[in-house]
Structure 1
Amino acid sequence: MTISEALKEARRRDAVELEWLGTTTQGRPDFAAAELLDRQGIPSCHVWRVPEGDVPPYLSATQALRRWQDGACAMCSARPNRLLVDHCHRSGLIRGLLCTSCNTAEGLQDAPSFAAYRSRPPAVLLGMEEQYGSAWDGFAQTSTDRAERNAARVDAAEALFRGITNRFGLGEK
């Protein structure tokens, strides 16, 4: 492929993405408005407009999320320098892109907004499914092996966290 052909293909893909996204990235709540939504148990992404039509076939779920989220955290609408790829540790599926604070809190909180986020994350809103990681991470195994391995890791992490919270008197009373 020549440079001219590559540029033409890049422009075509940009046009396809712009058509797919439409105006869905406009009019989103800012951080302050997202805080009010959080108090009502609603993650920010649940009030964003979802693009109509299919995700362009050349985009992975992560790429589609990056385009649609447009630099905004799915929970709080903050626009940090970078967003982290959030994923379910039991299934290995990518859920969405979160700021560092929300990604950390998501793993430690059962607040209604986080429960709502986990039940309908951005990847589900876009109708996408993608495994987090690579074959080197073990995600290329069968879904049963993967689920058992991830459940064991989650159980170990929960036990460790319980031990830490009990040690400092932060456990359930």
Structure 2
Amino acid sequence: MARHQDLQAHGPNVPACWKWPVVEQTTHGSESATISYLRARTVRKPSRNAMDIPIFARWQAGRCAICGDQPWAAPAPDIDLNTGLLRGLLCGSCLIALKLGDKRSETAAYLYRPARLILWEAGQLHSE
């Protein structure tokens, strides 16, 4: 319900992750190189972020949470500097734009409702 209202309120320029379905994630296979790489890059809250990275990686499937593109390299973790928690996985271009204060409506909407919140509302992440 909240996702539908957010889509209507923000119009057509919303982050890509707002349009992706959230399904129950039951695959617990071996860890991919991408997941290992991302675990190593999330250091502020390593235990919390380390548990969440496989969930984000499977749901985002290599796509950037803002633009939806699949970067040529592994997506970069976007860490909320206030909480130290992983907000989502972004391509290098969107991560740099975000850190430089990008004013695009997609970026503002992503900060308002990041991938982390979508997964948490769907019951995919443990309570903060």
Q: Please give the TM-score of this superposition, normalised by the length of structure 1.
A: 0.46
- Whether the 8 Å contact between 1:75 and 1:117 is mirrored in structure 2 is yes
> 1:40 Cα deviation (Å)?
3.5
Q: Do the aligned partners of 1:123 and 1:129 also contact (CA within 8 Å) in 2?
A: no
The answer to which structure, 1 or 2, has the higher relative contact order (CA under 8 A, 6+ apart) is: 2
Query: AA paired with 1:69?
Result: Q
Quote the RMSD (CA, aligned, Å).
Answer: 2.7
Within-5 A mapping of 1:62-101: 62-80=53-71, 81-101=73-93
Unmatched tracts of structure 1, length 5 or more: 1-38, 132-173
Q: Distance in 2 between matches of 1:130 and 1:117?
A: 20
Q: CA 1:94/1:130 → structure 2, altered by over 3 Å: closer, same or farther? A: farther
Correspondence 1:113 to 2:106:
yes
| Structure 2 portions without partners, runs of 5+ | 1-10, 29-49
Kindly report structure 1 stretches of 4+ aligned residues shifted beyond 3 Å. Answer: none
1:43 aligns with 2:15: yes
Between the two proteins, the alignment pairs up a number of residues equal to: 91
SS in 2 for 1:95: strand
Using structure 2 for the length normalisation, give the TM-score: 0.61
- Structure (1 or 2) with the larger CA radius of gyration: 1
Identity value in percent:
34
Whole-angstrom distance in 1 between the partners of 2:118 and 2:93? 22
